[in-house]
Amino acid sequence: MPTKKLYGGIEAGGTKFVCVVAGGPGHIVDEIRFMTTTPEETLGRAIQFFQPFVTSGQVSAIGVGSFGPLDLNPESSTYGFITATPKPGWSNTDVLGRLRRALKVNISLDTDVDVAGLGEYKWGASKGCDPSLYLTIGTGIGGGYIKDGKSLIGLLTLEMGHIRIPHSRELDPFFGICPFHGDCFEGLASGPAIEKRLGLTGAVVPENDPFWDIEADYIASALMNYILTLSPKKIILGGGVMQREFLFPKVRRRVRELLNGYVSSKIVLENIESYILPPGLGNQSGSLGAIALAMQIDEGNNDPRI
């Protein structure tokens, strides 16, 4: 049996980094996890991890899914940089350039949500569903849209967590915590918004708290908008907030109520249980997605993001 080809993947999170060398799911050759400290130290550890695999010729392509905001415009002078981020020390960090200069292999960079969406599309719950949508609802809210096998990047990367949705001040007097938009979707429904509103982290708010119906309504309103605007064939909901599994049936029910029969698809009207799903790769969507991105570099013999 021929040896399976290996790829490098980096899940570059604001809290921790996961670096893997793998041929795909179930074929992870090496893996390392460490806290995100300074760019110098953190990227240095990643480089150190991959160096022997690169030197021996085992790995010639690395995919990176990073926290942001990222500059992904190839014509920009700060292409491949983390730009103005609240993460201390990381503003204006040339992540892509730094890795490329040190490792001298093909490296492709995309947002954490795009890469997780790619992983789910390649091997997870949205496998082969094109177009598909991956949404994370956690510390922030962000979405990646996979179309023709690639993440969608337009004028800029997508920022769909910040859309405006109906917010009844009577039902929910909370003003929202987004520093830019107040009560946008992220400002109302992210993990920190839940914690600020209830004084408790979402992980411990009891399942029977009436707030969860309000949360499900916000998520469902946003999903309705994405469905009508992007028409995905599958929607994956990841992130810390969605760890509360009882949210899934609430959200599905509310999406169907809000659409009110308008989208004439059996998939949505009759089979919504398999339309809106948790990640199939669990907490590996990001790291395996980075492997999937590296495989695309290899297949296309260039950066799939350009």
99 contacts 82 by C-beta, under 8 angstroms:
no
Binding residue (CB under 8 A) for a second copy from 29, 163, 198, 269 = 163
Only segment of 45-53, 164-172, 277-285, 290-298 that touches a second copy (CB under 8 A): 164-172
Contacts of 114 (CB under 8 A, 6+ apart): 65, 134, 144, 146, 151, 153, 157, 158
Contacts of 107 (CB under 8 A, 6+ apart): 61, 62, 63, 64, 96, 99, 100, 297
What's the full length of the chain, in residues? 306
Of 3 and 260, the one with the shorter C-beta distance to a second copy is: 260
Contacts of 268 (CB under 8 A, 6+ apart): 227, 255, 256, 259, 275
Only segment of 87-95, 200-208, 261-269, 293-301 that touches a second copy (CB under 8 A): 261-269
Taking the complex as a whole, how short is the minimal distance between the CB of residue 30 and a second copy, in angstroms?
36
**Interaction between residue 148 and a second copy (CB under 8 A):** yes
**Interaction between residue 171 and a second copy (CB under 8 A):** no
**Interaction between residue 134 and a second copy (CB under 8 A):** no
Of 21 and 259, the one with the shorter C-beta distance to a second copy is: 259
**Interaction between residue 83 and a second copy (CB under 8 A):** yes
Only segment of 86-94, 100-108, 149-157, 236-244 that touches a second copy (CB under 8 A): 149-157
Task: Name the helix (H) or strand (E) containing 8.
Answer: strand 6-12
Only segment of 32-40, 85-93, 116-124, 228-236 that touches a second copy (CB under 8 A): 228-236
Alpha carbon separation from 167 to 200, 217, 226 (Å, rounded): 21, 10, 17
Alpha carbon separation from 183 to 78, 111, 123, 179, 277 (Å, rounded): 31, 24, 35, 9, 26
Count of residues of this chain found to bind a second copy when the rule CB under 8 A is applied: 45
β-pairing verdict for 141-147 and 276-277: unpaired
Binding residue (CB under 8 A) for a second copy from 37, 171, 262, 271 = 262
159 contacts 135 by C-beta, under 8 angstroms:
no
Alpha carbon separation from 127 to 149, 232, 281 (Å, rounded): 10, 13, 11
Taking the complex as a whole, how short is the minimal distance between the CB of residue 48 and a second copy, in angstroms?
33
**Interaction between residue 77 and a second copy (CB under 8 A):** no
295 contacts 7 by C-beta, under 8 angstroms:
yes
Of 143 and 202, the one with the shorter C-beta distance to a second copy is: 143
Among candidates 213, 208, 207, which has minimal Cα distance to 189? 213
**Interaction between residue 271 and a second copy (CB under 8 A):** no
Q: Rounded to an integer, what distance in angstroms lies between the CA atom of residue 228 and that of residue 206? A: 32
Scan residues 35-74 and list those touching a second copy (CB under 8 A). 69
**Interaction between residue 154 and a second copy (CB under 8 A):** yes
Taking the complex as a whole, how short is the minimal distance between the CB of residue 134 and a second copy, in angstroms?
13
Binding residue (CB under 8 A) for a second copy from 268, 276, 291, 293 = 268
Amino acid of residue 116: A
Scan residues 8-27 and list those touching a second copy (CB under 8 A). none
**Interaction between residue 306 and a second copy (CB under 8 A):** no
Q: Rounded to an integer, what distance in angstroms lies between the CA atom of residue 120 and that of residue 231? A: 17
Binding residue (CB under 8 A) for a second copy from 65, 124, 232, 304 = 232
Which residues of this protein are in contact with a second copy, per CB under 8 A? Answer: 69, 83-84, 131, 143, 147-148, 152-167, 180-181, 221, 224-226, 228-233, 258-265, 267-268
